[in-house]
Structure 1
Amino acid sequence: MQSTNLECFLDCTTPVVPSQFLSKSEASKLNRLWHPWEREKVEFFSLSDLWNSFDEWSAYGAGVPIKVDAGEDETIIQYYVPYLSAIQIFTSNSALNFLREETDSETRDSFSDSFSDESESEKLSRWDGCSSEEGVFEHENALPFNDRLGNLYFQYFERSTPYGRVPLLDKISMLSQKYPGLMSLRSVDLSPASWMAVAWYPIYHIPMGRTIKDLSTCFLTYHTLSSSFQDTDNEDHNGFSKKKREVGEGIHVPPFGLATYKMQGDLWTSGRNGNDHEKLVSLLNVAGCWLKQLNVQHHDFNYFMGYRHG
């Protein structure tokens, strides 16, 4: 069965990351609140490999085949560039202590000093997710430890205009200079509350020449970073029929939530007798519920939804 335009977008922008397996001794030490399932083999990926999966997309854009005229069966390739929109990484006390020891003390001290003049209300608003600044992991600023949520190691919320942003891989490279855990942490080290949002902006399509309103649509995809949700749903992939992984194929990190901006017409919702529209509504609701559950104000999500804050 031929994929719809929405299915093609979700498939073509889903990262596929090299798979690794924990040793039995390491698997026995996993947090059972985060990894309650007994598995013969515990599969995981490293965050560095996840970011590297965005390498080509960050440089050239992700190509998505889109059927623009069902009657004439005309297909074009639309390219989208990924940008880091938001990220929160929650991990355990032991991992946090290790990262603190590994971080260069001079970098840590200078970054701590940069927030020394903040008022308490500014600190609270930053930890509530209302700031675009990175989070810090100093003891005096860290959130109280929660067994299920974990400790907040890092967070970032982008507030720049699309034209003022750098592609995802470049942004991560910049942020990891102060936060090496962005490269060294693994999906099994992260709590189920760890997530990221990727903003996808269209840049060009091949062949050129056609002006189609819906090709200006922007997307916001939400992805879990923790192994806790990995392969727990055997029925669907991106909300559609799940594709069986090939032998040796990497781990798929599909979006669990989605928001759109400038979506006009029915280019993205005309497939599967209305099922695509239902799926868009469902993915949007999940994204909104996720942010509400974590008490997060996500700037891009609010903008996409038309919320305006002073």
Structure 2
Amino acid sequence: MVTTNLEAFLEAATPQLPWRSAPMECFQGPNDVWQLDKKDVVDYFTLEDLWEHYSESSAYGLSVPVRLEHGKFITQHFVPYLSAIQIYTSKTFAVPRSMGSDETDSWSDDSTAEKLCRSWDAASDDSCPHQDLDSVPAKQGGYLNFQYSEWDPPYERIPLADKVAELAQDYPYLTSLRSAELSPCSWLSVAWYPIYHIPYHGNLKGTCACFLTYHSISSVFQDKIVQCKDDDGAVSSRRAARSVGLWPFGLATYRMEGKLWTQPAGSSDSRLSDDLYGAASSWVKQVGAHHPDFNFFTSHTIRL
């Protein structure tokens, strides 16, 4: 079966992470394991592994093989940026003092703390609520312990791995939490912006396409578990013998011009794109998130 260019991008943009196991007692503490069926052994991936996955593409770009109309290939490179994230857990965490910053709000000079403050109540008036998270009532999906939405234009952003490292200085649990500790409402959105393609083909339509991918970061929705094997086909004896793919459940596009992302002709890419866009739109509304990138992509998009 021929892989279309859109399918190739989605596959390349899917994090493949070690799928680990630990006894239930290893999770007892400030964060309860979030699962419907309590078991003796808990399966999970770590957020630290997730951010490590993006380190290479943050530095060099994500390589995506793209088939041209006449069968030749180019390699399109994209840089990942942290577009939005919400982390829900069963209990609340302490809020750093920086969340109470009284500095003047502005577009170009926002500090990370100010952007975080704005994202809490952006849907109403973009104000910064000076409140402790303990006062935020728990929804059925848990407590919203962390939320970030990127407001800067793309040329002012830093790659995803660098942004997470910056945020983790004030929010260390961004790297210490495990997926089994996260509510099913927890999610991540990555903005992918093109930087170059090899070999160069001038102003080829479609090479400026940008993507927003949406991923669940909770163990609850992870079912694409793969048994790792060595080159000879034997089950791997490495520490991480299984992996999980965080396949995008939602997608939004921008500058999707020409037919580059609908090759080969007659492919189902248009329906796939529409279905994933509908899932992303429904999810953002369901969790009550204000997602600036999604709003921009929606207002500027050209549907396939």
After TM superposition, the score normalised by the length of structure 1 is 0.80
Counterpart code for 1:301: F
Following superposition, the deviation at residue 31 of structure 1 comes to 6.1
Where does the alignment leave 5 or more consecutive residues of structure 2 unmatched? 106-115, 230-240
Per the alignment, residue 239 of structure 1 pairs with: none
Partner of 2:109: none
8 Å CA contact retained: 1:81, 1:201 = yes
| Amino acid of the structure 2 residue aligned with 1:228 | V
Taking the aligned partners of 1:139 and 1:283, their CA distance within structure 2 comes to 32
Q: What amino acid does structure 2 have at the position aligned with 1:82? A: P
* Counterpart Cα distance in 2 of 1:173 and 1:296: 23
Q: Which moved more, 1:124-133 or 1:243-252?
A: 124-133
Structure 2: how far apart are the matches of 1:40 and 1:47?
A: 22
CA contact (8 A) 1:132 1:156 kept: no
Q: Is the 8 A contact 1:128 1:296 kept in 2?
A: no
Distance 1:151 1:287 in 2: 21
The match for 2:101 among 98, 114, 119 is 114
How far apart are residue 81 of structure 1 and its match? 0.3
1:228 aligns with 2:220: yes
Matches within 5 A, 1:157-172: 157-172=149-164
Instruction: Say if 1:6 and 1:269, in contact at 8 Å, map to a contact too.
Output: yes
Question: Which residue of the partner structure matches residue 186 of structure 2?
Answer: 194
Note the aligned Cα RMSD (angstroms): 3.1
Question: What is the count of residue pairs matched by the alignment?
Answer: 278
Question: 1:145-224 residue pairs with structure 2 within 5 A?
Answer: 145-146=138-139, 148-224=140-216
Q: Is the 8 A contact 2:44 2:219 kept in 1?
A: yes
Partners of 1:253 and 1:211 in 2: CA distance: 33
| 1:257 counterpart residue number | 250
Task: Quote the offset at 1:191 in angstroms.
Answer: 0.5
8 Å contact kept, 1:135–1:153: no
String of CA shifts for 1:270-301, please: whole Å, max 9, x gaps: 34834111110000000000011112221001
Taking the aligned partners of 2:227 and 2:13, their CA distance within structure 1 comes to 17
In structure 1, the gaps of 5 or more residues are 235-242
**Aligned with 1:57: secondary structure?**
helix
Q: CA deviation at 1:127?
A: 2.6
Structure 1 residue 151 displacement after superposition: 1.0
Give the direction of change, closer, same or farther, for the CA distance of 1:82–1:139 in structure 2 (3 Å limit). Answer: closer
Residue 132 of structure 2 is matched in structure 1 by 138
Q: Residue 82 of structure 2 is aligned with which of 81, 84, 91?
A: 84
User: Is the alpha carbon distance of 1:220 and 1:252 closer, same or farther for their aligned partners in structure 2, counting shifts above 3 Å?
Assistant: same
Matched with 2:108 is none
Percent identity, please.
41
Distance 1:27 1:262 in 2: 44
- Could you tell me how far apart the structure 2 residues matched to 1:198 and 1:143 are? 26
Deviations, residues 29-84 of structure 1 (Å, cap 9, x unaligned): 9968x422466753211111100000100000000000012xx3100100000000
